[in-house]
């Protein structure tokens, strides 16, 4: 149970940043494509268009993108599940995943684990809010915030 919550929390933290950052960059100057809103980016592949990465067209179709994602993420997940790096704690590996040495002290490490799971839970609820907001308004979070302010 704890492992699944932590993995989903980490994905939610990455996803929340991935929802906001491209839309904000596109709104305030960077060219991330015609619509850099998270729920419309997949339509670029489904329309037969190529991917657009910061204004550069990448000639890749949907099948190739899905195959690449399955191979890369599937390989990484298999490596993690089989403990390929031989860590004692698969959920909080430390070592090369803690290059700044923030969790060398056991007390500090325990505090950081609590902060990680709390921020992850917040991110999961934030993602739920983004989903509902997109369904109701049809706009991204940055556009809604700009209209509100």
Could you list the residues known to form a binding site, using ranges: 5, 8, 10, 77, 85, 115-116, 119, 121, 133, 148
What DSSP element (H or E) covers 53?
strand 51-53
Cα gap 125→58, rounded to integer Å: 33
Binding residues for chlorophyll a, as ranges, are 5, 8, 115-116, 119, 121, 133, 148
CB 146 within 8 A of CB 35: no
CB 23 within 8 A of CB 37: yes
CB 123 within 8 A of CB 130: no
Token representation of residue 23: 């839309």
Side-chain half-sphere exposure of 93, counting CA atoms within 13 A = 14
Binding residues for chlorophyll b, as ranges, are 10, 77, 85
């Amino acid at each position: 149970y704890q492992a699944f919550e932590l993995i989903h929390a980490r994905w939610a933290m990455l996803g929340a940043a991935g929802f906001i950052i491209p839309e904000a960059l596109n709104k305030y100057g960077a060219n991330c494509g015609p619509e850099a809103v998270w729920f419309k980016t997949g339509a670029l592949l489904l329309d037969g268009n190529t991917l657009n990465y910061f204004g550069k067209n990448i000639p890749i179709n949907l099948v190739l993108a899905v195959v690449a994602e399955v191979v890369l993420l599937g390989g990484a997940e298999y490596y993690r599940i089989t403990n390929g790096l031989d860590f004692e704690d698969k959920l909080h590996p430390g070592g090369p995943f803690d290059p700044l040495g923030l969790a060398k002290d056991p007390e500090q490490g325990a505090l950081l684990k609590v902060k990680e799971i709390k921020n992850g839970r917040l991110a999961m609820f934030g993602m739920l809010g983004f989903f509902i907001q997109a369904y109701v308004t049809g706009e991204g979070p940055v556009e809604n915030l700009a209209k509100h302010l």
